[in-house]
Chains A and B, each alone.
Chain A
């Protein structure tokens, strides 16, 4: 049984604490990492990918420290960094072939796997094109394909959906849904909808710590009775924004505005309780 454990993992950059004594155990399934920019998501994923060394604490894969495992750990790993680079003069095929070599994919299986993953991400038609001629979304899909090349047991995807159009996003969700059944998939995003549809477990990060963890049901339960909806005049919106955590604003035809607020107490007289969604959970957690 595959298990990845964070054991009081911290990362400091000079005086700044970017990850603060993180503890969590991952098993097979899809984990969504949510948090504002600068919350420490990318740093955590980099440490799990073995690219960045934690200042203190350990990351254990089946009870073995990942740094000590070295190549044996990296062999299990598929990683899509947030800032995904490429050699611009490489063609799509050559690029994947190069990474297949680095990932020690058996040469006799490499071609077949490249073909399969290009098909999965819808890039088969551009396999002979140079990467520099591809659109941003296509490059991102190429990044997803390379992460899958070695059939990883641990798949780490940092902001995988950034730059993807709605159709590509749906295709990605479906692909990941199938992949997550037999491996640990860790993906970060600051787009709640992406995580909401895919993740089995959600981890919300705030200032280098896990501010909330659990499955969707548990997390929604935590904000039940704290989400309100009310109608206000547009001129009152700024005041409300300063006073409460406003999760959504909708302009109505009659000139008023429908506002969704996450608050422990009733924000105004005519506000009514509504069932929470994951955006409310996220907002309620990070604005706490």
Chain B
């Protein structure tokens, strides 16, 4: 095989002065560029955790501990299945109130407009708070489900439906109250809505047959309807934030 001749490039002369000049220009341009700091998810999450109201976070934790205490008391009394489900329903329907109270702080204190104009806007802040409080709700509901399953003969799916139906319905109702109310008085109505939902969820205690297999289909339908209602409310809330009129309501 014929050996190819190497192409030799002639040496290019470097104008050191021009090189320095160009390098200086690049350095100047880099200096002018603003350093944009983008916090990671965990930094944002930890940052928000620091500023969440201790009343709301403490309330949520106390609610969970209260459930454990009441549950333990009834366990020692050896009560029937309906009582366990009643406590579970009432607790699950009121735990959402602390999230709503935390979300409404921005609006109650007139901070919403300012927060919406920040890099991390209100939608994102609320989303983080929903994740945090939602995680605590899941822990509480899981503990409830296992507690009830250990003391009754009901299967897990039925317990989950019995707990989730009042939980989702109550959250949707509270979100509806939250979307409509804009003053500080809303806080009390929010609590009123949670108390009302808890009271309503105790109704099956008077009608133990509602927890029989014959009524299970109705529970599933209520849960499905409540989920649709909740999703609709979340979409509405997002829309209000996007349009801004829910924030700038003066």
Q: Identify the A interface with B (CB < 8 A).
A: 13, 43, 46, 49-53, 71-72, 74-75, 77, 79, 81, 83-88, 98-99, 101-107, 146, 150-151, 153
B212 within 8 Å of A (CB atoms)? no
On chain B, the residues within 8 Å of A43 by CB distance are 248
B188 within 8 Å of A (CB atoms)? no
- Give, as a whole number of angstroms, the nearest-CB distance from A287 to chain B: 26
Chain B contact residues (Cβ within 8 angstroms of A): what range?
Answer: 20 to 34
A–B Cβ pairs within 8 angstroms, 8 of them = A43-B248, A51-B113, A51-B248, A81-B113, A84-B110, A101-B44, A104-B37, A105-B37
Residue pair B113, A83 in contact (C-beta under 8 Å): yes
Residue pair A46, B248 in contact (C-beta under 8 Å): yes
B13 within 8 Å of A (CB atoms)? no
Given contacts A51-B244, A87-B105, 10 further A-B contacts (CB under 8 A): A49-B117, A52-B248, A85-B109, A99-B114, A101-B44, A102-B119, A104-B36, A104-B39, A106-B35, A146-B114
Q: Output the nearest chain A residue to B247 by Cβ-Cβ distance.
A: A51
> Does more than half of chain A's interface fall in helix, strand or loop, or is it mixed?
loop
Residue pair B244, A101 in contact (C-beta under 8 Å): no
- Give, as a whole number of angstroms, the nearest-CB distance from B136 to chain A: 22
Residue pair A77, B117 in contact (C-beta under 8 Å): yes
Residue pair A50, B110 in contact (C-beta under 8 Å): no
On chain B, the residues within 8 Å of A72 by CB distance are 36
- Give, as a whole number of angstroms, the nearest-CB distance from A153 to chain B: 8
Residue pair A51, B117 in contact (C-beta under 8 Å): yes
Residue pair A75, B113 in contact (C-beta under 8 Å): no
Q: A83-B250, A86-B111, A88-B109 are in contact. Are A98 and B51 (CB under 8 A)?
A: yes
Q: A87-B109, A98-B51 are in contact. Are A74 and B121 (CB under 8 A)?
A: yes
Residue pair B37, A81 in contact (C-beta under 8 Å): no
Residue pair B109, A86 in contact (C-beta under 8 Å): yes
Residue pair A52, B244 in contact (C-beta under 8 Å): yes
A52 to B121, CA, bound (A): 13
- Give, as a whole number of angstroms, the nearest-CB distance from B45 to chain A: 11
On chain B, the residues within 8 Å of A105 by CB distance are 37
Q: Output the nearest chain B residue to A99 by Cβ-Cβ distance.
A: B118
On chain A, the residues within 8 Å of B110 by CB distance are 83-86
A81 to B122, CA, bound (A): 15
Residue pair A75, B117 in contact (C-beta under 8 Å): no
On chain B, the residues within 8 Å of A71 by CB distance are 119-121
A169 to B119, CA, bound (A): 29
On chain A, the residues within 8 Å of B114 by CB distance are 79, 81, 84-85, 99, 146
B58 within 8 Å of A (CB atoms)? no
A87 to B116, CA, bound (A): 15
A74 to B33, CA, bound (A): 17
On chain A, the residues within 8 Å of B51 by CB distance are 98, 101
Residue pair A46, B113 in contact (C-beta under 8 Å): yes
- Give, as a whole number of angstroms, the nearest-CB distance from A112 to chain B: 14
Q: A53-B242, A53-B244, A85-B111 are in contact. Are A102 and B105 (CB under 8 A)?
A: no
